[in-house]
């Protein structure tokens, strides 16, 4: 891939300086410049760069966020234009290579925690605008984040070259002439900048996206990024485009689903800021993503359950002294009903969501339900704030399992289950990954095979060298 644009920004800056003596010319150039910077900022928002490249409470884009991955913790880098700690010395070509090929300025490989496999789709024009904004629109901060130190063999960044050979498709997005401009814009955003597949597409054993199962659902740490293909049961096939737009704009689609965990961050940092045209384009495209059906979903995941209460089992009955003996109905009454109401119906305007007809209780993968109970939901949402308290400090593993099972049974998919062990695992940050061990074992196997081949070759040579028998 080759950039067609050379180094426009220093050149532009130079032009700006030179022409500043001539008001008219300067105005034109300035406005072109301003427009490009604005576009770059918008694209960076669409790309949600800030999500990983800003630590909680840290300076914007100064990096430092620890990103837990199956091969160890990767620390996001400083991508401010700081010349010492950030990317201030990057040329546009180097910037483009990092973004779209996963190669940083010193020629070393990035880990694919950076979604360059998706960003590879970004157009040259957009890379140029992004570069302009990161160089001139972002404040430089000279703080160097903790360097990433992964265990062997992943500490050898060259190992990623082999991975890229297998899994990186570095061709930029090519529009499908058979589809509308709107669809193509949506596809460009979904596959590229918005990098939806990074979370929503399942990954193979080597942590690469399974392209044949685009957006069929994947796991992000302890959270599950659900199926968002056009399948009517497992995905968003039953959603209208306006449902999808509402979800992206507001973080919830009433009577269907609401964003929590990492998705709430995506809405907060990125999606809600996109133009109506772009949100429409994304919705248009998502509705055409080939359906991926999960046979476990016997009906649409947002159609389970109904209003229900077990108040009769509560009134006049003393609470058990052992909290783990509390029934689902007792737990619901104590911890949930104050917002979600006595029958799980939520508030009249949907501001406090109903627990039935809600993907939170309709999926067979119940990790998100557990995570929401443990961590709650909290994001600013147009100033008023979306806030569900987390109960990690309040409820035991058994209580979460009892409560969650009660919710699934009455308001959700009764075939789904939550166990105390599952809660315990998720509370601890998820199941440990064996990828490092696997990689090391694989290396030993390869080594043994190599040794075997060498030994075999040597023996053959020795045999050849032996004199023929008499």
Partner 1 sequence: MSEQLSADIVVIGSGIVGSLAARRLALQGASVLILEAGPRLNRGRVVAAFRNSPIKGNWMGAYPPSPWAPHPIYVPKDNGYLKQAGPYPYPAEYIRAVGGTTWHWAAMAWRLVPNDVRIKTLYGVGVDWPMTYEELDPWYQEAEELIGVAGAPDTGSPRSQPFPMEPVAEPWSMRRFCERLAPAYAVVANTVARNSRSYGGRPACVGNNSCQPICPVNAQYIGENAVAAAEAAGVRLIENAVVYRIEHDAQGRIAAVHYFDPDKGTHRVTGKTFILAANGIESPKLLLLSASDKYPNGLANGSDMVGRHLMDHPSSSITFYADEELWLGRGPQSPSSINTLRDGAFRSQHAPYRLDFTNISQVLSVTQDLIKEGVYGAEFDKQLRWRAAHQVSLKNVLEVLPDPDNRITLSSEKDAMGIPKPEAHYSIGDYTRRGADVSKADFTRIAELMGGTGLRYSADGQFANNQHITGTMSMGNDPKTSVVDGFGRTHDHENLFICSTGVMPTAATMNSTLTAIALALRTAEHILPKPADVHAAALNAEREASLS
Which residues form the interface with partner 1 (CB under 8 A)? 57, 314-317, 319, 323, 330-331, 333-335, 337-339, 347, 352, 378, 380, 383-389, 394
Residue 217: C-alpha distances to residues 202, 203, 227, 234, 292 (Å): 6, 9, 4, 9, 9
- What is the closest distance, in whole angstroms, from the C-beta atom of residue 391 to partner 1 in the complex? 8
Give phi and psi for 257, each to the nearest 5. -165, 160
- In the complex, what is the shortest distance from the CB of residue 170 to partner 1, in angstroms, rounded to a whole number? 37
Shortest distance in whole angstroms from residue 54 CB to partner 1: 12
Closer to partner 1 by Cβ: residue 385 or 467: 385
C-beta separation of 381 from 387 below 8 A:
no
Closest to partner 1 by CB, 10 vs 320, is 320
Considering the complex, state which of residue 387 and residue 460 has its C-beta at the smaller distance from partner 1: 387
CB of residue 210 vs partner 1: minimum separation in angstroms? 35
CA distance 402 to 420: 8
Rounded CA-CA distance 53/67 in Å is: 10
If the CB atoms of residues 32 and 319 are measured against partner 1, the closer one turns out to be: 319
**Cβ proximity to partner 1, 30 vs 342, nearer residue:** 342
Task: Quote the least distance from Cβ 326 to partner 1, whole Å.
Answer: 9
Would you say 107 or 316 has its CB closer to partner 1?
A: 316
**In the complex, minimum distance from the CB of residue 402 to partner 1, in angstroms, rounded to a whole number:** 13
- Please say whether the beta carbons of 399 and 326 come within 8 A: yes
**H/E element, 388:** strand 386-388
Count CB-CB contacts under 10 A for residue 188.
23
Contact 411/360 with Cβ under 8 angstroms?
Answer: no
- Residues 285-302 as b or e (16 or more Cβ within 10 Å = b): bbbebeebebeebeebbb
Nearer to partner 1, 57 or 470 (CB): 57
Q: 409: exposed, middle or buried (C-beta count within 10 Å: 0-12, 13-18, 19+)? A: middle
CB of 374 to partner 1, least distance (A): 14
What is the rounded (10 degree) CA torsion for 341, 346, 349, 350? 160
CB 61 to partner 1: min, Å: 17
DSSP letter assigned to residue 16:
H
- Of residues 48 and 126, the one with the C-beta less far from partner 1: 48
């Amino acid at each position: 891939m080759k950039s067609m644009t050379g180094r426009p920004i220093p050149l532009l800056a130079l032009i700006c300086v030179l022409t500043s003596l001539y008001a008219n010319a300067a105005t034109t150039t300035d406005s072109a410049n301003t427009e490009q910077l604005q576009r770059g900022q918008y694209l960076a928002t669409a790309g949600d760069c800030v999500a990983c490249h800003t630590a909680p409470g840290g300076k914007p884009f100064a990096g430092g966020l620890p990103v837990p991955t199956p091969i160890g913790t990767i620390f996001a880098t400083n991508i401010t234009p700081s010349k010492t700690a950030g990317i201030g010395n990057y040329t546009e070509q180097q910037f483009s290579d990092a973004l779209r090929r996963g190669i940083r300025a010193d020629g070393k490989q990035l880990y694919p925690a950076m979604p360059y496999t998706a960003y590879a789709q970004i157009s040259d024009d957009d890379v140029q605008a992004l570069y302009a904004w990161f160089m001139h629109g972002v404040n430089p901060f000279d703080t160097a984040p903790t360097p990433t130190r992964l265990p062997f063999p992943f500490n050898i960044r060259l190992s990623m070259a082999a991975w890229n050979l297998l899994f990186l498709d570095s061709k930029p997005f090519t529009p499908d002439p058979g589809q509308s401009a709107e669809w193509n814009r949506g596809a460009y955003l979904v596959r590229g900048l918005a990098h939806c597949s990074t979370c929503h597409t399942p990954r193979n054993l080597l942590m690469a996206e399974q392209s044949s199962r685009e957006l069929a659902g994947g796991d992000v740490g302890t959270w599950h990024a659900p199926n968002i293909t056009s399948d009517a049961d497992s995905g968003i096939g039953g959603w209208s485009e306006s449902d999808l737009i509402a979800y992206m704009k507001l973080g919830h689609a009433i009577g269907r689903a609401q964003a929590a965990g990492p998705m709430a961050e995506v809405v907060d940092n990125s999606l809600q800021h996109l133009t109506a045209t772009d949100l429409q384009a994304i919705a248009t495209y998502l509705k055409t993503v080939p359906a991926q059906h999960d046979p476990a979903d016997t009906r649409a995941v947002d159609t389970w359950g109904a209003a229900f209460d077990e108040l009769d089992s509560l009134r006049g009955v003393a609470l058990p002294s052992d909290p783990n003996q509390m029934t689902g109905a007792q737990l619901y009454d104590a911890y949930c009903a104050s917002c979600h109401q006595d029958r799980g119906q939520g508030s009249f305007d949907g501001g406090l969501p109903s627990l039935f007809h809600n993907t939170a209780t309709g999926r067979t993968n119940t990790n998100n339900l557990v995570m929401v109970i443990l961590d709650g939901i909290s994001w600013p949402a147009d100033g008023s704030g979306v806030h569900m308290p987390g109960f990690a400090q309040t409820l035991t593993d058994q209580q979460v399992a009892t409560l969650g099972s009660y919710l699934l049974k009455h308001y959700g998919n009764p075939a789904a289950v939550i166990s105390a062990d599952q809660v315990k695992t998720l509370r601890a940050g998820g199941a440990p990954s064996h990828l490092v061990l696997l990689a090391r074992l694989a290396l030993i196997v390869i080594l043994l095979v190599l040794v075997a081949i060498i030994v075999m070759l040597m023996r053959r040579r020795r045999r050849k060298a032996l004199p023929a028998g008499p």
